[in-house]
Amino acid sequence: MKLLLLVVAASVINFGCVGGNTYKEDLLSNEKWELILSKTSGPNGTIDNYAKLKACERDNRYNFKPDRNLEIDEGLSKCNPNDPQTYIEGKWSFSDDETHLSLNEIEYFIIQFTDGELMLRSDIEENGQSITVELSFRR
């Protein structure tokens, strides 16, 4: 009987760990996020990409789905009424140590990640110039 309990307990522990999400994965994927900052800095100055968004784009919500798809929800106002309410915009993933978040194959360093805020930064090379991209989301 003790052997049977030991085997059952070991099975539960093993199956409980298979495919389980980490705390950060659960935190990221359990609610939709709102983009509140998007800027690009380089040798020619800083561009506020968020300010250039239309009102119908600013109310979009970003859903980091558990299957690693990045889903966009058009929010209350759609730019085109014929567009679907939600659509897949790409993929996301964490680095092994969860200090970086990859969005559509661009790797961002996680500056801050709490229950209500996600701040990201990526240093990329574009046309031979170093560019810094910053994104901030909130719930």
Q: Helix H segments across 18-106? A: 23-29, 49-52, 55-58
The single-letter DSSP state of residue 32 is -
Task: Going from the first residue of the chain to its last (139 residues), give the mean pLDDT of each consecutive group of 10, the final group possibly shorter.
Answer: 33 40 90 97 96 96 96 94 94 95 96 97 94 97
Report the C-alpha gap between 136 and 139 in whole angstroms.
11
Q: Is 37 in contact with 50 (CB distance < 8 Å)?
A: yes
* Amino acid at site 18: V
- Asked: is 22-138 a CATH 1.10.3470 domain? The reply is no
Q: Helix H segments across 18-73? A: 23-29, 49-52, 55-58
Write down the domain spans for the chain: 22-138
